[in-house]
Amino acid sequence: MPTSTGSKKHLVLVHGLSHGAWCWYKVMTYVRSAGHQVSAVDLGGSGVDPSRLDDIATFNDYVQPLLQFLESLPANEKVVLVGHSFGGLAISLAMEKFPHIVSVAVFITAYMPNCRDPPALLMTQYFKSLKPETYMDCRFTFKNGSPESTELGDSYMATMMYPNCPPEDLVLAKMLIRPSKFFLEDMSKEGLLTKDKYGSISRVYVVCEGDRVMDEEFQRFIIKDSPPNEVKSFPGAGHMIMMSKSKDLSLYLQELVAQYP
């Protein structure tokens, strides 16, 4: 379920693969203390969402909690939509469904599709760019030769995702992560994102330097492939910037709230 607080501007935070609303706890604390309204959403089968992985048959099932949350907002409310990593695909679909309420979308070391190709193309290019040893102790299931789901391994998380974070955040993550699907088949469909809706919304890309999951070269490729309105880089952030550079990220998000009313 979404968690929300505050009274001024509304930020909606969306987690990445296998994570949940819990990973934003530091950012929410900083943003709340500045007086802004902030919500973090558990996507289907993630965080404390009651659905099991087997219950999440489609990508639409996965993003349904986010879509329901946005649909429940007051008619005159605008949001700053923030997606981390795999969450970039979730907020992209939300932008297409609710273009009238998103003042700006922020992609943090995230998949940021263009309007020409099916979003799955980005994922396919990402998997092709990785060496097999990169996966370390992650456990995958495959369908027709393509990865269908994954369960993150402890060594992978420590080495690839959380090396820039305080050790207690890694401990927290190991307790709370859940298996997740990739939904490559669903995201291979044509026409999921259009210029009139998704393409009409201002986009910001946050480059996380030192990211070992979505390396900087791939982040720069995404930016070139689908140019945003603004690019911001954070040195030494690594993949989990909301924990490693939580205060800096929070301040930047507050700047965007003011910049895109």
For the chain, the structural domain boundaries read 3-127+183-259
Say which of 169, 239, 244, 250 is annotated catalytic: 239
Active-site residue flag, 85? yes
Question: What pLDDT is attached to residue 243?
Answer: 98
Active-site residue flag, 248? no
Is the pLDDT reported for residue 258 higher than 70?
yes
Is the pLDDT reported for residue 5 higher than 50?
no
Q: Which residues are CB-contacts of 2 (< 8 A; sequence separation ≥ 6)?
A: 12, 21, 39, 40, 41, 42, 65, 69
Q: Which two tokens stand for residue 180?
A: 């997740």
What is this structure's pTM?
0.95
Say which of 42, 169, 186, 211 is annotated catalytic: 211
Is the pLDDT reported for residue 144 higher than 90?
no
Label residues 29-63 b or e (16+ Cβ within 10 Å = b).
Answer: ebbbeeebbbbbbbbbbbbebebebeebeebebbb
What fold, for 3-127+183-259? Rossmann fold (3.40.50)
pLDDT, average across residues 208-212:
98
Say which of 85, 92, 149, 246 is annotated catalytic: 85
Is the pLDDT reported for residue 177 higher than 70?
yes
Active-site residue flag, 211? yes
In terms of phi and psi (left: phi > 0; alpha: psi -120 to 50; beta: otherwise), the region of 78 is beta
